[in-house]
Amino acid sequence: MKFGGSSVGTISALTQVISIVLQEQERWDRLILVVSALEGVTDSLIEAAHLAQLSNRRGYRRITATIRARHLSLIDELPLSINERSGLQADIDQLLFDMLNQCQSLSDISNGTDMMNKTDEIIGVGERLTARIIASLLRDNNLRGVAIDSTEIIITDETAGNATPDLLLTNQRIAQHLVPMLERDIVPIVTGFLGGTIDGTPTTLGRGGSDYTASIIGASVNAQEIWMWSIVDGLMSSDPNEVDNAHVIDELSYEEVAELAYFGAKILHARMIGPLKQHNIPLRIKNVFKPQQDGTLIHNTSAKNNHVIKAVTSINGIALSANQSGSLSRISAIVDETLFKTIGTHADVMISSQSSSRSFVTFVISTTAGPDAVRTSQIALQERLQDEIGLSNWNVDTTAIITIIGSELDRNSGIISKILRIIDKTHILAYSQGPSHHSFSLVVNTQDSDHILHRIHDFIVNNV
């Protein structure tokens, strides 16, 4: 069971978490918990690391004091024994004291790689704090809860900020360190989001990486199911913050949810679906405040019904265009290199199209890259292309990608034609059917995205 930041950030939420764990441990022989930092803490830690890079000692110490006050205030209100509370307070102080030392070390570093590695170490403190709080709560409820730092079991490459796990080495570490704990009736509380290289250097799996941690561990121990707990009722037909009448989707296939995660569903990390599909492990997404509800079930096959379209998403992207044709390999390589250097993620080509005299390429900017990633990427690409011989004529614009998610879209061209009709007179920059046959995407101007999203979602609602 993975608990997201919003499901552990308050007294009421933590009370629900413990209630759920106590109830489910009666039903299951073995439980593993994966936890995120309290909501907002990772963003604060990223800011602290940035201030440390600028040698702003007062700034990062202020953030550390705020984080400490928030966590100590939380545990003061929790039903903990004196011994557990005092031990937990000492753990929190030690973790944050060590973090301050890391911030000071970061101030003295000039090497870019070392700086990114140290940043990963700093921003992973939030998960360590949460894991220790939940472990203390479980112990006070007569369960053998133990906080586990995933830097010791999720072995990754050396890519700071968005590391890729080495699944073979990770499986070996989990078998050595985690499985024996389960055999001794211990409930491990594992820090999500974090990993480590083979030599112990801390890494992170990218924003939202706790989901990925849960799926890797679940696949490694051959879990019967993986449950993700948040404060929403399940996966929705669209982002409820953007579409008022978004509704819960009861069931999705692995392929459908992979497309949904990739094209903008913020509740899921796009890379988490692979291990689940490979090992055929069902995933449930549930509301921590409504545990009796089924939520969304993700498994091998989608629900058998007539509702071909399940959801519509909107995600930001970068579009590059030029009045020329020819190979796109050079521009693609430069975009990939620039995006990785700027926002820590590689470029995924969403759509590319060419005529005899014009080229157009669109790149998705993942929601995990942060709220400023699109604008930052646009500026970085504009500056880079101006310095490249023969590429200064490329225009760099922000764009929106509206994606329809469903089953067997390749066999339902009538549905696609209806959607194109309801957005008639809208300027479409490009469109593409995904090779998985579970997505159909439209590239549009950013200012048109909200209108199109609502029109398509209304079509989905009226056809359910």
How do the domains of the chain map onto residue ranges?
Answer: 2-231, 310-462
Task: Return d(Cα 374, Cα 398) in angstroms, integer.
Answer: 7
> Please, are residues 397 and 379 in contact by the beta-carbon 8 Å criterion?
no
**The domains spanning 2-231 and 310-462 adopt the same CATH topology:** no
- Written as one letter, the residue type at 24 is E
Question: Can you tell me the distance from the alpha carbon of 268 to that of 257, in angstroms, rounded to the nearest whole number?
Answer: 9
For residues 147 and 133, give the distance between their C-alpha atoms in angstroms, rounded to a whole number: 9
CATH superfamily of 2-231: Acetylglutamate kinase-like (3.40.1160.10)
C-alpha span between 431 and 55 (Å, rounded): 47
Which fold is adopted by the domain 310-462?
A: VC0802-like (3.30.2130)
What string of pLDDT tens digits covers the 464 residues of the chain? 999 998 998 999 999 999 999 999 999 999 999 999 999 999 999 999 999 999 999 999 999 999 999 999 999 999 999 999 999 999 999 999 999 999 999 988 766 667 888 899 999 999 999 999 999 999 999 999 999 999 999 999 998 888 999 999 999 999 999 999 999 999 999 999 999 999 999 999 987 889 999 999 999 999 999 999 999 899 999 998 899 999 999 999 999 998 888 887 777 887 889 999 999 999 999 999 999 999 999 998 755 554 688 999 999 999 999 998 888 989 999 999 999 888 877 887 778 888 899 999 999 887 767 778 899 999 999 999 998 888 889 999 999 999 999 888 877 778 888 889 988 888 999 988 888 888 999 999 999 999 999 999 998 888 75
